[in-house]
Structures are given as C-alpha cells and as structure tokens.
Amino acid sequence: MAGIQGERLTVLQVCGLAATCGGLAALALAGVGRRDLPSRKAVTAAVLTGAAIASYTVVDGLGVRESGTALGYTTWMFAVEGVLTFAVMTAVRGRAIAPALRDRWLVSAGGGTISMLAYGLVLWAQTRSALAEVAALRETGILWGALIGAVFFAERLGPRRVAAAGIVALGVILLSAH
C-alpha cells in the first residue's frame, strides 16, 4: 500500500495499522453501552481531531525530512511557537501575564522541556520510519492513559479494555514487522 512520499507498507504493517486503530477505538468506547452512545457532536469532534492530528503529523513528517535534522526542526518549531504564544498571551492578558510567569516559570520550563523532548523523539522517528507507522505508535499513548487511570485513579480496566489493549499491542508488533 503506497503512502506519503511513496512509502510502502507491507500487508502485515497494514494489518498492524488497522489493528492499532481498531484497538484504540475499542479502548475509547469500551465503557460505552447502547444507551449512552456518543453524541453526534462528540463523534464529529473526535473525527475532526483525528483529521487535525493526521494533518500535522504529515506536515511535521515532511518538514523534518526536508530540514534534514530533527533537532533543528524541533528547536525552530518551539522557538517560533514560543514567541507567538507569548505574543498572543500578552495581547490577551496584558500585564496580568507577568505574575503568572513569575510564579510558575519553573513548572512551565519543566513541562516545556518534557514536551520538547517528546516532540523531538517523534520527529526523529519520522526520519527513520514510515509516517503511518510513527503516527499509529504515537497514538498508543492512550494505553498509558488507561494504565495511569487504573493504577492512580482506581478506574476499572475490565475485560473489554484489556482485550482492546491487547489488540493495540498486536498492532504495534505487526507494524514493526518488515
């Protein structure tokens, strides 16, 4: 199956992509019964969110490949985004932004550093593998969310969620098959 920039996925990888996507959808809907199906607005928002993620994944993937360096691309993206975000925040909040910056700079810097490292890692992966593979693997973060929910917030995983997580894991294994 041909993808972006002529990338080709093997049959096993296409099956892995389908399993990963299907498992993630099953995990997201595992607690939903027939009486409480998601509203049309919720489904529309989810589909639009997925389209936005797919769009920026392709743009980032092509951009980092064109730039030739994940580190450089990441640095420029964060620098430009940081300046623009600060300008918008200052325009909206005015002088009220100064106390927030003074009080929260350490937490903000830590969160920004972790975010930059995670983003850079994804960009680095996009220089090494097909964009579809990286995109699917990136979305498996929902598994961590489910695990954190179970361990720290006593959310019940249940057989449906465990089965869905197993399907995602199988999908990831198939995606890595070459």
C-alpha 24/C-alpha 105 separation (Å) is: 35
pLDDT on residue 2: 54
Whole-structure pTM over 0.85, yes or no? no
Q: Tell me: the pLDDT tens digits for 95-118?
A: 888 888 888 889 988 998 999 999
- Answer for the pair 118, 74: CB distance below 8 angstroms, yes or no: no
Residue matched to tokens 């389908």 = 18
Mean pLDDT, rounded, for 11-28: 85
Domain ranges of the chain: 1-37+131-178
Angle of helix 158-175 relative to helix 141-153, nearest 10 degrees? 150
C-alpha 114/C-alpha 110 separation (Å) is: 6
- Answer for the pair 32, 38: CB distance below 8 angstroms, yes or no: yes
- Answer for the pair 16, 136: CB distance below 8 angstroms, yes or no: yes
- Answer for the pair 8, 128: CB distance below 8 angstroms, yes or no: no
Q: For 48-52, 58-62, 87-91, which range has the lowest pLDDT when averaged over its residues? A: 48-52
